[in-house]
Amino acid sequence: MEKPENDVKISPRTGKPMKKPRGGNSPVIGNNGLMTQPGDNAKIIAINLELLNLPNIDMDDVNAVAKRLTEYFEIYARSDFKPTVAGMAIALNGHNRRWLWSVVNDKPLGGDGYKSNLRPEVADTIKKAYFMMENQWETYMNSGKINPVSGIFLGKNNFGYQDKTEHVLTPNVQQPSDYDPEDIRRRYMLDEGSDSQTSSDS
């Protein structure tokens, strides 16, 4: 087998030289988006099948909700994958991430908002788990355990972080004038009998 050139990387999966992506490697992403390990897809499918087949729980029972949230984190820990917001919502009787966002932010969702369905103790338990996930996301970002581009996307979409520049607008405060109205008239208005006024009429 020929020895590849020094700048050619070897795929850990196939053992063959990897082709350079068009435009070269991204300074931010590099090959991170390409590096999956054998079996990763199978693990992700297994996680989702397990979430799909979880039996519904009594969402009025704070202990049942706490137990389900623990079970949810354990599912991801067993597969050594980072937990997801959508996965947490699915674990809670098949809801979506918008429903979970409404619970965490005390916002009703549609005409049948969570406020009429969840007791405060249950909502508080869900919020605590959600905030724990936000802390995990922040820890991943601080310790370089997640691609920065993906991390920023998740922070904005799931935890309300924003990139923004604030501009402070102040009203234009009128400075005191050096001239009184009569002085302005004398300077800029023409007298009735001025020569320029009569010459323009001819």
What tens digit of pLDDT does each residue of 134-165 get? 888 888 888 888 888 888 878 787 877 787 77
CA dist 191 and 122 (Å) reads 83
Does the pTM exceed 0.85? no
149 or 47: which leads in pLDDT: 47
Report residue 4's pLDDT band, with 50, 70 and 90 as the boundaries. very low
The pLDDT of residue 95 = 93
Look up residue 108 and give its DSSP letter: -
Beta pairing partners, 136: none
pLDDT at 114 over 60: no
Report residue 2's pLDDT band, with 50, 70 and 90 as the boundaries. low
The pLDDT of residue 32 = 52
CA dist 110 and 99 (Å) reads 10
The pLDDT of residue 125 = 96
Report residue 46's pLDDT band, with 50, 70 and 90 as the boundaries. very high
The pLDDT of residue 154 = 80
CA dist 123 and 128 (Å) reads 9
pLDDT at 29 over 90: no
* Numbers of helices and strands, H then E, in the chain: 8, 0
The pLDDT of residue 72 = 96
CA dist 109 and 56 (Å) reads 20
Model confidence pLDDT, tens digit, residues 55-103: 999 999 999 999 999 999 999 999 898 999 999 999 999 999 989 988 9
Q: How many CB atoms lie within 10 A of CB 191?
A: 9
The pLDDT of residue 186 = 75
Look up residue 35 and give its DSSP letter: -
Q: What is the mean pLDDT of residues 94-115?
A: 78
pLDDT at 34 over 70: no
